[in-house]
Chains A and B, each alone.
Chain A
Amino acid sequence: DTGVSQDPRHKITKRGQNVTFRCDPISEHNRLYWYRQTLGQGPEFLTYFQNEAQLEKSRLLSDRFSAERPKGSFSTLEIQRTEQGDSAMYLCASESGNTIYFGEGSWLTVV
């Protein structure tokens, strides 16, 4: 499979716990994006990497959120001290030309 892969696909966590999501983009795609999507809404931009450099962060990305792409390949998105409002699907995407290609998303439920 040469698409964008995300892990885990589903995560249920207690409020206050930390969670980490991983994204493996399509190989040779330099740009990588994280989006968040809640039920009934379109995806909202969180952050963007060009290789290992994090070039843009949305205001949605509070201090509890951190994203890394240490070697310019896979990326991680960590949420610390989770809150119920963090429950959403977290989508990763990588870019070729003008188009971004999404993974299947990681569903987070905070209970």
Chain B
Amino acid sequence: AQKITQTQPGMFVQEKEAVTLDCTYDTSDQSYGLFWYKQPSSGEMIFLIYQGSYDEQNATEGRYSLNFQKARKSANLVISASQLGDSAMYFCAMRDNYGQNFVFGPGTRLSVLP
């Protein structure tokens, strides 16, 4: 069974600084996808970034990058130049390429300080 672990219940970062949110996963599948979503207090889950298990390059989307270490089964999210609007819950998720549903981690609450 697939499992996502996010060991940081809460994180603080100073505005304009970079922050890394940890995510480790467990799967016996060889082909899978890893995702990060942001959930502000309004409740909507906002897609941020995707990494395929066979992608050789780490994914980047604007200020977001994914530090993918396959051997360690980790997929950490790096947010550069934090902004006050980045304060939210962040969820790591995975999906194998044969199944249909996504498995989410428990989330990390990020607070950006002015």
Contact = CB atoms under 8 A, between A and B. Distances in A.
Given A42-B106, A102-B45, A56 B91 contact: no
Interface stretch (A13-21, A70-78, A79-87, A93-101): A93-101
B101 A103 contact: no
Interface residues of B, number: 23
B91 A42 contact: yes
Nearest to A106: B43
Interface string A17-57: 00000000000000101000000111111001000000110
A98 B42 CA distance: 25
Contacts of A89: 43
Interface size grouping (class) on chain A: 20 to 34
A36 to B, nearest CB: 11
Nearest to B93: A42
A102 B40 CA distance: 13
A2 B104 CA distance: 25
